[in-house]
Every structure is written in structure tokens, then in C-alpha cells.
């Protein structure tokens, strides 16, 4: 019996369900686990020794280093974050300094907090939780207060602020910090769309705090952070992987490095290849167990925020990249050498022709309407 992208197939054809499918029948959802050689390596012993991946490992580490912001950029971000954090912390311990709102808590989130910031995107994120209801006037007043205090403490540096729908940004000449506003959970139901910030955005910022806390406690291994940068780079350069959200990439990298029988971190070359193998096997397709969101109650599978079309797109793109990688095309995959349309055009690698995988899902009008209704509420929080 094998499991394909269309379901389970046996020697005699498709396997029929054990339950009747007539009106009123009960068909329980039983998620399947796609094939993962890492989890069952003992059952499939190698016929020959594993290939030497030293060259691939060196290429992965080199690419990860290129994707890491330089020391001057990291120092500039850290200095600005420290100054803003200090101003906001003062408002927590001394509420009388700011009358427009009351600050409950200040937490750093996002890629800077996690240690996965990408070169060329040096923006740090801070969530400010208000005890009071977050009106646009209060947000503007808080932005002005923070900017004024920064200018007083460092008159030689030019600071500027810009409000947006979820908070505001503070910028200096060489760094930017995004301050995201939220409120305490009991206030969420009291928000008035005409007066306050959007409730979905507020909930998304609270979710970002949970994500940052989970990452700090569980994904501190350096191999996970290296893999996250590599996967984000793939997402940025290959359109088929664009639907993957930052949170999905964080969890996928953690799973690929840490979830194995030995419970020991896998080498970066093995983990990188495993990511493509998992995605190719349907890890994020309908019916797959995938990865349960550790920051949500119940069993929420993170890939369900993707539409059916996006899930299929991620799968067939990963299949093509995995075949190219298997035939030595790692330089093109990692971006060291340009090879246009590697996932859409037929390519040749050492006399081996690699034909791109094609889509298996054809979207229908009713499917599109159903997906839109179920994914809109989820996507905002997954983007954090």
C-alpha cells in the first residue's frame, strides 16, 4: 500500500473507506503522517553508505552567513530597541508620566527577538499591551511620547515616528523598530471599530507574544535558526513557496532539526534536505497530520491557514527542488548561481532531465468561496 497525493492506493486500486458514506453516516477524520525516512531509518537500512555532504554543508553555512545581518546592523537595531524598551518600561512603572493610556506590559517579538533576522530586513518588533482601550489618538500620543523621550536622551540622533493601522514605527538613521499595540484580553470584546484599533490585529499581536515565548523555550538551537534563514530565502526566491508564513517556517525548521528518534539535533545538511522531503511527501496537504500549533488550544494544524491551491503549490514546488538537489543543483537552489525558472522549466543536471511537478488541484468556484471564509481569520495571526 502506498500513499500518494490523491489518497491511499493498494495493489487492487483505491482503498474504500471502512464507513458508509450515505446520508447520516459517520466518517471520522484520521490524519495521516507522510513518509519520513528520518523517523523510520531503521526499517529501511541503506544499501550503501550515505553520500558525503560536506560540500552541501559548507554551501548551506556560507549562504546562511550571507543572509545574516552584519555586526553594525545588529548593533544599530539592538541600541534602538534598548532605548525604546527603556522608555516604554518607564511608562509601566510610572503610569503618571503618560495620561493618554496605561501600559500593562512590553514584550519583544519577531525575528530580532528570535535571532533569525534577515540581512536587508533589519526591523525589530515590540508589542505594547495597554490596560486601556487602544484608540488611534492614544496610539499617536504614545508615538509622540516615545519619540520625544528618545530625542531628549540622545539629542544628536534624529528620530522619527510613523503611525499605522496596528501601532507605529520609530526610526533612526540606520535602524527601525515596529511598535505593535494590543490590549489586555478582557478588552478585546469591548473594541469599537469606529474608535479603536482592529480587534483581529490586536489578537494577532497577542499571538506574536505566544510565538516568541514558545520559540525562546523550544527553538534556541543554532541549527534551527540557520535553517529558518535558509527556508525564508527559498520562500523569497521561489514563488511556489511564497505561501509559507514565518510561523510555519519556524515550526517546520524546529520539526526538521529536533523531531527524530534520537531527539538530538540533526546536522544542517540533513535537516535542509528533510524539509524538502517532508513538503514533497505532502506534509502540508489536506489530510496530513502536519504540525499542530503549540500556541493554540485544541488541534490546530498550521498548514490549514493555506488554501488548497497554496498547499498543492508548496508540495509540487518542493518536489521539483528536491529532484534538482538530488542531482547536484544545490548552487542554483541556494542562489549562488542563477538559473531562471528552475521550478517551472525542464532542466538538465549531468545528463539527467528534471521535469517540474505539475499541479494536482484544480480550483472550483465553490472551493474558492469556502477557502476564503475559513482562511481569512487565520492568516493574520500566522503572519506574525
193-209 pLDDT, tens digit each: 889 999 999 999 999 99
* Range from 168-177, 247-256, 299-308, 366-375 carrying the lowest mean pLDDT: 366-375
Greater confidence, 370 or 256?
256
**Model confidence at 125: pLDDT above 70:** yes
Three-class HEC string of the chain: CEEECCEEEECCEECCCCCCCCCCCCCCCCCECCCCCCCCCCCCCCCCCCCCCHHHHHHHHHHHHHHCCCHHHHHHHHHHHHHHHHHHHHHHHCHHHCCCCCEEEEEEEHHHHHCCCCCCCCEEEEEEEECCCCEHHHHHHHHHHHHHHHHHHCCCCCCEEEEECCEEEEECCCCEEEEEEEECHHHHHHCCCCCECCHHHHHHHHHHHHHHHHHHHHCCCHHHHHHHHHHHHHHHHCHHHCCCCHHHHHHHHHHHHHCCCCCCCCCHHHHHHHHHHHHHCCCCCCCECCCECCCCCCCCEHHHHCCHHHHHHHHHHHHHHHHHHHCCCHHHHHCCCCCCCCCCCCEEECCEEECCCCCCCCCCHHHHHHHHHHHHHHHHHHCC
**Model confidence at 18: pLDDT above 50:** no
86-109 pLDDT, tens digit each: 999 999 999 998 999 999 999 999
Please report the domains of the chain, with CATH numbers, ordered by start residue.
Answer: 32-67+221-382 (1.10.1410.40), 71-218 (3.30.460.10)
Q: What is the pLDDT confidence band of residue 375, given thresholds at 50, 70 and 90?
A: low
Q: What is the pLDDT confidence band of residue 12, given thresholds at 50, 70 and 90?
A: very low
**Model confidence at 352: pLDDT above 60:** yes
Residue-level pLDDT at 367: 57
* Range from 28-37, 174-183, 265-274 carrying the lowest mean pLDDT: 28-37
Amino acid at each position: 500500500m502506498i500513499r500518494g497525493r490523491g489518497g491511499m492506493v493498494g495493489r487492487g486500486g483505491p482503498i474504500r473507506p471502512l464507513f458508509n458514506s450515505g446520508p447520516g453516516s459517520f466518517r471520522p477524520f484520521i490524519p495521516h503522517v507522510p513518509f519520513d525516512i528520518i523517523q523510520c531509518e531503521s526499517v529501511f537500512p541503506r544499501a550503501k553508505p550515505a553520500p558525503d555532504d560536506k560540500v552541501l554543508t559548507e554551501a548551506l553555512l556560507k549562504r546562511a552567513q550571507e543572509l545574516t545581518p552584519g555586526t553594525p546592523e545588529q548593533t544599530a537595531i539592538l541600541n534602538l530597541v534598548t532605548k525604546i524598551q527603556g522608555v516604554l518600561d518607564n511608562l509601566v512603572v510610572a503610569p503618571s508620566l503618560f495620561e493618554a493610556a496605561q501600559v500593562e506590559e512590553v514584550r519583544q517579538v519577531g525575528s530580532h527577538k528570535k535571532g533569525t533576522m534577515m540581512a536587508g530586513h533589519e526591523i525589530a518588533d515590540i508589542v505594547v499591551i495597554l490596560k486601556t482601550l487602544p484608540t488611534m489618538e492614544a496610539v499617536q500620543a504614545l508615538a509622540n511620547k516615545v519619540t520625544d523621550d528618545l530625542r531628549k536622551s540622545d539629542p544628536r540622533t534624529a528620530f522619527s515616528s510613523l503611525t499605522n493601522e496596528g501601532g507605529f514605527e520609530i526610526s533612526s538613521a540606520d535602524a527601525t523598530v515596529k511598535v505593535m499595540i494590543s490590549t489586555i484580553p478582557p478588552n478585546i470584546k469591548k473594541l469599537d471599530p469606529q474608535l479603536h484599533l482592529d480587534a483581529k490585529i490586536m489578537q494577532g499581536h497577542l499571538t506574536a507574544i505566544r510565538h516568541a515565548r514558545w520559540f525562546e523555550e523550544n527553538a534556541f538551537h543554532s541549527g534551527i535558526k540557520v535553517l529558518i534563514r535558509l527556508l525564508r530565502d527559498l520562500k523569497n526566491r521561489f514563488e511556489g513557496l511564497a505561501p509559507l508564513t514565518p510561523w510555519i517556517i519556524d515550526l517546520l525548521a524546529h520539526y526538521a532539526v529536533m523531531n527524530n528518534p534520537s531527539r538530538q539535533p540533526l546536522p544542517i545538511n540533513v535537516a535542509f534536505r528533510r524539509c524538502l522531503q517532508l513538503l514533497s511527501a505532502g506534509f502540508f496537504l489536506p489530510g496530513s497530520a502536519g504540525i499542530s500549533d503549540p500556541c493554540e488550544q485544541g488541534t490546530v494544524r498550521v498548514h490549514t491557514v493555506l488554501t488548497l491551491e497554496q498547499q498543492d503549490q508548496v508540495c509540487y514546488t518542493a518536489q521539483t527542488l528536491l529532484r534538482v538537489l538530488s542531482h547536484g543543483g544545490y548552487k542554483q537552489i541556494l542562489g549562488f548561481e542563477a538559473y531562471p525558472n528552475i521550478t517551472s522549466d525542464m532542466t538538465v543536471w549531468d545528463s539527467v532531465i528534471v521535469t517540474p511537478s505539475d499541479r494536482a488541484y484544480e480550483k472550483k468556484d465553490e472551493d474558492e468561496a469556502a477557502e476564503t471564509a475559513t482562511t481569512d481569520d487565520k492568516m493574520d495571526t500566522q503572519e506574525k
